[in-house]
């Protein structure tokens, strides 16, 4: 009986050692990085994503923002009109906001008054505008990755997106890989 108990204790100690090695391996593979999937095209959610990204970057954390589906509207440049789109792509282009300054609020949009009120309050309280947040994000090296699949589904072309120093185009697998290495992941 005593021998059996010793074997059980040894098995538990072996299992604990294996678990310790796995935890160490996981901890060593995590980077000081924030990976964020941004899928909402609502102004307040884009604001929240940018505030969190800027806060993390200010603390020397690498930030990667993966913009997909409706969030792509925030990255459209209102002054760019690419040619050669099919009818469905043109319809998406007309129906969706053309840039971050035309986004609606998720709640209390109030026929367009909500965003104007938020912008007024932001200015009154010395909060950076979305334009200023994107400019600062570029200066801090925050990466913005445009989802190629969403871009294709919605009929957007690369040439209609904002000029941003760290803008790239990739698929969901890139985000999943980045998120797997990141210390923190967010979905907005």
Render each residue's pLDDT in the chain as its tens digit; 188 residues.
Answer: 788 888 888 898 989 888 888 877 766 677 899 999 999 999 999 999 999 999 999 999 999 999 999 999 999 999 988 888 888 888 888 888 888 888 888 888 788 788 889 999 999 999 999 999 999 999 999 999 999 999 999 999 999 999 999 999 999 999 999 999 999 999 99
∠ Cα 121 124 130 (to 5°): 65
DSSP letter assigned to residue 132: H
Cα 185 from Cα 34, distance rounded (Å): 6
pTM: 0.81
CATH architecture assignment, domain 31-187: 3-Layer(aba) Sandwich (3.40)
Q: In sequence order, what DSSP letters do the residues of 63-96 get, joined into one string?
A: EEEEE-GGGGGGGB-TT---S---HHHHHHHHHS
């Amino acid at each position: 009986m005593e021998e059996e108990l010793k074997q059980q204790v040894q098995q538990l100690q072996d299992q604990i050692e294996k678990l310790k090695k796995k935890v160490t391996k996981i901890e060593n593979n995590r980077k000081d990085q924030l990976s964020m999937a941004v899928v909402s095209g609502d102004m307040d959610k884009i604001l929240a994503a940018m505030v969190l990204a800027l806060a993390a970057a200010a603390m020397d954390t690498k930030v990667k923002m993966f913009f997909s589906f409706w969030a792509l509207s925030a990255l459209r440049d209102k002054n760019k009109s690419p040619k050669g789109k099919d009818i469905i792509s043109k319809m998406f282009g007309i129906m969706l906001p053309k840039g971050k300054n035309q986004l609606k609020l998720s709640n209390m949009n109030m026929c367009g008054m909500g965003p104007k009120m938020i912008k007024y309050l932001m200015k009154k309280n010395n909060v950076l505008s979305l334009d200023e947040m994107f400019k600062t994000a570029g200066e801090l090296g925050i990466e913005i990755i445009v989802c190629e699949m969403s871009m294709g589904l919605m009929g957007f072309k690369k040439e209609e997106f904002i000029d941003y120093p760290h803008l790239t185009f990739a698929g969901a697998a890139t985000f999943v890989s980045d998120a797997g290495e990141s210390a923190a992941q967010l979905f907005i």
